[in-house]
């Protein structure tokens, strides 16, 4: 029996879908059987970020309504043999699926896969309740902004009432120089407020935007700093003790040598 993990945040635009795509792919690269489920009915994105949009035939609502069988709706990612996607419908809205139906679908998927990554829509309404219904664990994504942290706090409060246990935290889009200057909330402040376990700090990286536009999850690249951070999140999820990456930009030996020779 696999594990259902919901990726949620409350606030929109903090990187739930990006985190889902990259964490799902990273787990698949580590040899796990992974299915990603997009529950953002009406505003589906995960298929676009994964570059699988043109392969959608059936979707989550079709499965819930019984228009097709669950395996028919799953899109197998040809790049990674372990990875599948259950896309959301684009034409309906969140009320097209009930929490009971979601729980049933995720339970079925857990028999087949090691990890079911559930991408949650923004907000705390039905879409959120649907996404949480089948999950065993939760990962809360936030950025170092007051508004995002406030919403993350609200979501953690709501998750406490569900059976997902203590959620884990991913701090996304961290700009180290702003944190250092005190212009941005720093990791310590956020952890002090939210009081949950940190599972990853992902630096702000242009490559993430580029890769999403190309339909290739950033973790496929081995150089990108965000990619390394996401792969570390996946390894921590599997129980490995991976230290946090230093946030400094290009702090390597080579950089220091170049600086020494005035090459900058």
Residues within the interface to other proteins (CB under 8 A): 150-151, 153-154, 156-158, 160, 192-195
208 is in an annotated binding site: no
- The answer to whether 16 is a known ligand-binding residue is yes
Give the helix/strand (H/E) hosting 201: strand 197-203
CA distance 20 to 240: 19
Nearer to other proteins, 190 or 229 (CB): 190
Tell whether residue 11 is among the known ligand binding residues. Answer: yes
Q: How far is the CB of 132 from other proteins (least distance, A)?
A: 16
> Which CB, 92 or 150, lies closer to other proteins?
150
SS3 174: strand
Burial class (CB in 10 A: 0-12, 13-18, 19+), 197: exposed
Q: Which pairs with CB-CB distance under 8 Å and at least 24 residues apart come from 249-255?
A: 249/176, 249/177, 249/203, 249/225
Shortest CB 185 distance to other proteins, Å: 12
Residues 6+ apart with CB under 8 A from 97: 39, 41, 60, 61, 64, 130
CA–CA gap between residue 33 and residue 112 (Å, rounded): 8
Least distance in Å: CB of 124 to other proteins?
8
Q: How far is the CB of 135 from other proteins (least distance, A)?
A: 19
CB of 191 to other proteins, least distance (A): 12
Residue 100 or 197 with smaller CB distance to other proteins: 197
Task: Identify the bridge partners of residue 168 per DSSP, sorted by sequence position.
Answer: 139, 197
Strand duo 34-38 + 115-119: pairing: parallel
Q: Which is nearer to other proteins, 33 or 129 (CB)?
A: 129
Strand spans (E) along 42-142: 75-76, 83-86, 115-119, 137-142
State the minimum distance, in angstroms, from the CB of residue 98 to other proteins. 24
Nearer to other proteins, 146 or 177 (CB): 146
Nearer to other proteins (CB atom), residue 57 or residue 195: 195
Residue 14 assigned to a binding site: yes
Q: How far apart are CA 217 and CA 222, in angstroms?
A: 11
Binding residues for ATP: 11-18
Binding residues: 11-18
């Amino acid at each position: 029996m696999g594990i259902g993990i919901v990726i949620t945040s409350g606030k929109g635009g903090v990187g739930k879908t990006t985190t889902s795509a990259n964490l799902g792919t990273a787990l698949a690269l580590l040899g796990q059987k992974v299915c990603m489920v997009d529950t953002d009915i009406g505003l589906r994105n995960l298929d676009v970020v994964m570059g699988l949009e043109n392969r959608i035939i059936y979707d989550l609502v079709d499965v819930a309504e019984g228009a097709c069988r669950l395996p028919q709706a799953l899109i197998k990612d040809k790049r990674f043999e372990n990875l599948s996607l259950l896309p959301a419908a684009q034409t309906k809205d969140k009320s097209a699926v009930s929490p009971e139906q979601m729980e049933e679908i995720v339970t079925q998927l857990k028999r087949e896969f090691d990890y079911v990554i559930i991408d949650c829509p923004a907000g705390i309404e039905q879409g959120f309740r649907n996404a949480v219904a089948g999950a065993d664990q939760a990962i809360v994504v936030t950025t170092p902004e007051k508004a995002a942290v406030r919403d993350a706090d609200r979501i953690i409060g709501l998750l406490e009432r569900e059976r997902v246990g203590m959620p884990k935290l991913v701090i996304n889009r961290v700009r180290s120089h702003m944190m250092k200057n005190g212009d941005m909330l720093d990791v310590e402040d956020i952890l002090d407020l939210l009081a949950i376990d940190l599972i990853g700090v992902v630096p702000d990286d242009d490559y993430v935007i580029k890769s999403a536009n190309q339909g290739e999850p950033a973790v496929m690249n081995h150089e990108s700093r965000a990619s390394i951070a996401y792969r570390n999140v996946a390894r921590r999820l599997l129980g490995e003790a991976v230290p946090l990456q230093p946030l400094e930009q290009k702090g390597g030996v080579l950089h220091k040598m170049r600086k020494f020779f005035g090459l900058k």
